[in-house]
Chain A
């Protein structure tokens, strides 16, 4: 069903053994989080050994909060998203750590219990709606199936709710379109159908993995406005996985930056944009061409993301970091810059990093 990872290359690393495990981040504010991920490490078993893809990923999402997860390809953000609903292939994926959702431990649930959560309490939106929708069923049938899998409603009632769901996401004439097949919808409309399906059971959390990447910019604007509006109206929390910092800036209130399988920063979006706490976040923001700065040389981050088998000792960003020096060769613990901002960099408090503005 889901091919998860672009990180399935094999190899070995002794890195995890050296790592301390006790740096789960404190919850911002006093709110009990709806999602609480602690020390999540994901590895894949391959022919020649085990590849460690993420290391001690810890973050929380408060009820109704919209959190963006950013990072370049291969940083582990999609794998993390899939692991939350235990969608990684069980035979090859080794998941270690804690995933608590609404006070319950997702890791220790039996398959039947996790199935009851998928689609009802937590739902997911993927990048490519055409591959996520089944081409041989009408969108109505797929919406109804999702709803009736979790709630004991009659066919007629479910159909009514399906029409309403399509209406809520702004699909014109939902009464007739409910009986159409996915191929009869345009790309943007298909993504709206996906959102309708994600919302039909009124989940507490939606995980959206690059939901607008395949769309044109005018359609993307419609979809991110819709997601923000629906999340505000229904109180659904959103975990927004994307490489597009502009999209995060416009939809989310907090931003988590991942690099080489680790969370390197967690800050309120506006703070991260203005004065990022980690040099990698700063590098990403500075690399974006700005409309106001035309024709000048563009900053970029030299080098490339290290492969999971060749991570340097200590900070995984040190080889590309303009601020690297003494202490970077040691394991980097999460530093609290202030109660809402955390970065995995021992210089986080002293550095004055440039953001997007």
Chain B
């Protein structure tokens, strides 16, 4: 990709993660491959929250897993700070890896039902060979408190807790090894609306207190808009748009982002609703046989023959605002 060069030139000095032309392909029977992620490049800056949105099949969770080494890149590089992680030995990687944690969507499935909360909390430190039995216990209890839970909970089992409490446990567990960076994969999707706010507030508090960096992966645009400084929009294994949250939400430059934002049902009275829904035809195509050229062209209201023939470049259309579309301009798509 020619554009990645220009992007790396203005590289931020303090990137926690740098992803360059990342591809993750899964082989299928019969020689086909699912191109779950197919050439994405971006950086995550120290102390920021990067939101990654997309529908199912967009590759957002695959990227999230790759960011913490749960999936190996088929192609491309992943750097933690300045370090290319593919060049590390297993021991070096394990030491570095503890700074990079992930929290999953289903708070219940992420906890072992046969372990007490305390046992779950000390496990990451045991794996890292950190401290003594007593110091691990202390760290675990301190993490619980930081996540807003009473220490008594440590001796309970997951089934005794509510969904919100369990997600707080998962957060506390990630904190026990003092990470710099946490991938949050749909962390509030399984929670009731009334408790989502308290969990999102907790993430914000922890970021401020501990200087954490997040990649916040979600399908919920209102959540991403709330927590992120920058937003990346994915579609069918490619990145469509990446920019400051305000620009992407207020003036989306990619036709897909525009449709996605307009599709979000809004809880406002009928007289306040802008009638501007862009109805997309059909659904996301199979990542095993993605369309030629631009991935979005089969559903794009502006698609032309050029979109079929050539994949659009990843262009910096406005300052810090990157878009992959032939036709977009700083004020949107021009026909």
Q: Which residues of A contact B (CB under 8 A)?
A: 72-73, 186-189, 216-222, 224-225, 243-250, 269-270, 273-274, 283-285, 287-291, 293-295, 297-302, 304, 356-357
Q: Which of B196, B249, B264 contacts A217 (CB 8 A)?
A: B264
Q: In the complex, given contacts A216-B284, A245-B193, what are 18 additional A-B residue pairs having Cβ atoms less than 8 angstroms apart?
A: A73-B192, A216-B219, A217-B264, A221-B262, A221-B279, A222-B279, A222-B280, A246-B264, A246-B266, A250-B265, A273-B269, A289-B200, A294-B226, A294-B245, A295-B226, A298-B226, A304-B195, A357-B272
CB<8 Å pairs between A and B, sample of 6: A218-B263, A269-B269, A288-B193, A289-B226, A293-B226, A297-B201
CB distance from A19 to the nearest CB of B (A): 25
Whether the pair A218, B280 counts as a contact (CB closer than 8 A) is yes
Whether the pair A304, B223 counts as a contact (CB closer than 8 A) is no
Whether the pair A287, B245 counts as a contact (CB closer than 8 A) is no
CB contacts (< 8 Å) of A298 on chain B: these are 196-198, 200-201, 226
Whether the pair A216, B55 counts as a contact (CB closer than 8 A) is yes
Q: Which of A250, A293, A300, A304 contacts B273 (CB 8 A)?
A: A250
**CB-nearest residue of chain B to A285:** B267
CB contacts (< 8 Å) of A284 on chain B: these are 193-194
Whether the pair B197, A250 counts as a contact (CB closer than 8 A) is no
Whether the pair A243, B223 counts as a contact (CB closer than 8 A) is no
**CB-nearest residue of chain B to A214:** B56
CB contacts (< 8 Å) of A243 on chain B: these are 192-193
CB contacts (< 8 Å) of A248 on chain B: these are 267
Whether the pair B219, A249 counts as a contact (CB closer than 8 A) is no
Q: Does residue B85 face the partner (Cβ distance < 8 Å to A)? A: no
Give the residue among B164, B263, B265, B269 with the most A Cβ atoms within 10 A.
Answer: B265
Whether the pair B267, A221 counts as a contact (CB closer than 8 A) is no
Whether the pair A270, B197 counts as a contact (CB closer than 8 A) is no
Whether the pair B277, A221 counts as a contact (CB closer than 8 A) is yes
Binary A-proximity of B65-95 (CB < 8 A = 1, otherwise 0): 0000000000000000000000000000000
Q: Does residue B259 face the partner (Cβ distance < 8 Å to A)? A: yes
Q: Does residue B283 face the partner (Cβ distance < 8 Å to A)? A: yes
Q: Which of A217, A291, A301 contacts B260 (CB 8 A)?
A: A217
CB contacts (< 8 Å) of B267 on chain A: these are 245-246, 248-249, 273, 285, 288, 356
Given contacts A357-B268, A357-B269, contact A304 B162 (CB under 8 A): yes
Whether the pair B194, A301 counts as a contact (CB closer than 8 A) is yes
Give complex CA distance A356, B193 in Å: 13
Counting residue pairs across A and B whose Cβ atoms lie within 8 Å, the total is 129
Whether the pair B197, A300 counts as a contact (CB closer than 8 A) is yes
Q: Which of B55, B194, B264, B280 contacts A287 (CB 8 A)?
A: B194
Whether the pair B55, A217 counts as a contact (CB closer than 8 A) is yes
**CB-nearest residue of chain A to B58:** A216
Whether the pair A270, B265 counts as a contact (CB closer than 8 A) is no
Q: Does residue B270 face the partner (Cβ distance < 8 Å to A)? A: yes
CB contacts (< 8 Å) of B264 on chain A: these are 217, 246, 291
Q: Which of A188, A216, A283, A293 contacts B194 (CB 8 A)?
A: A283
Whether the pair A300, B55 counts as a contact (CB closer than 8 A) is no
CB contacts (< 8 Å) of B201 on chain A: these are 297-298, 300
Give complex CA distance A310, B270 in Å: 39
Q: Which of A187, A224, A270 contacts B269 (CB 8 A)?
A: A270
Give complex CA distance A249, B266 in Å: 7
CB contacts (< 8 Å) of B198 on chain A: these are 298, 300, 302
CB contacts (< 8 Å) of A300 on chain B: these are 194-198, 201
Q: Which of A247, A274, A299 contacts B265 (CB 8 A)?
A: A247
CB distance from B111 to the nearest CB of A (A): 18
CB distance from A247 to the nearest CB of B (A): 5
Q: Does residue B292 face the partner (Cβ distance < 8 Å to A)? A: no
**CB-nearest residue of chain B to A219:** B283
Whether the pair A244, B226 counts as a contact (CB closer than 8 A) is no
CB contacts (< 8 Å) of B265 on chain A: these are 220-221, 224, 244, 246-247, 249-250
**CB-nearest residue of chain A to B53:** A217
CB distance from B272 to the nearest CB of A (A): 6
**CB-nearest residue of chain A to B280:** A218
**CB-nearest residue of chain B to A298:** B197
CB distance from A251 to the nearest CB of B (A): 8
CB contacts (< 8 Å) of B266 on chain A: these are 246, 249-250, 291
Q: Which of B56, B164, B197, B200 contacts A304 (CB 8 A)?
A: B164
CB distance from A217 to the nearest CB of B (A): 5
Whether the pair B263, A289 counts as a contact (CB closer than 8 A) is no
Q: Does residue B311 face the partner (Cβ distance < 8 Å to A)? A: no
Q: Does residue B221 face the partner (Cβ distance < 8 Å to A)? A: yes
Given contacts A72-B193, A294-B245, A300-B201, contact A249 B269 (CB under 8 A): yes
Whether the pair B219, A299 counts as a contact (CB closer than 8 A) is no
Give complex CA distance A269, B273 in Å: 13
Give complex CA distance A285, B263 in Å: 19
CB contacts (< 8 Å) of A288 on chain B: these are 193, 222, 267
**CB-nearest residue of chain B to A301:** B194
Q: Which of B194, B259, B269, B283 contacts A72 (CB 8 A)?
A: B194
Q: Does residue B225 face the partner (Cβ distance < 8 Å to A)? A: yes
Given contacts A73-B192, A273-B267, A284-B193, contact A290 B277 (CB under 8 A): no
CB contacts (< 8 Å) of A249 on chain B: these are 265-270, 273
Whether the pair A289, B269 counts as a contact (CB closer than 8 A) is no
CB contacts (< 8 Å) of A273 on chain B: these are 267-269
Whether the pair A287, B193 counts as a contact (CB closer than 8 A) is yes
Whether the pair B279, A225 counts as a contact (CB closer than 8 A) is yes
Q: Does residue B334 face the partner (Cβ distance < 8 Å to A)? A: no
Q: Does residue B209 face the partner (Cβ distance < 8 Å to A)? A: no
Give complex CA distance A265, B264 in Å: 25
Q: Does residue B305 face the partner (Cβ distance < 8 Å to A)? A: no
Q: Does residue B271 face the partner (Cβ distance < 8 Å to A)? A: yes
CB contacts (< 8 Å) of A222 on chain B: these are 279-280
Whether the pair A72, B192 counts as a contact (CB closer than 8 A) is yes
CB contacts (< 8 Å) of B223 on chain A: these are 289
CB distance from B80 to the nearest CB of A (A): 27
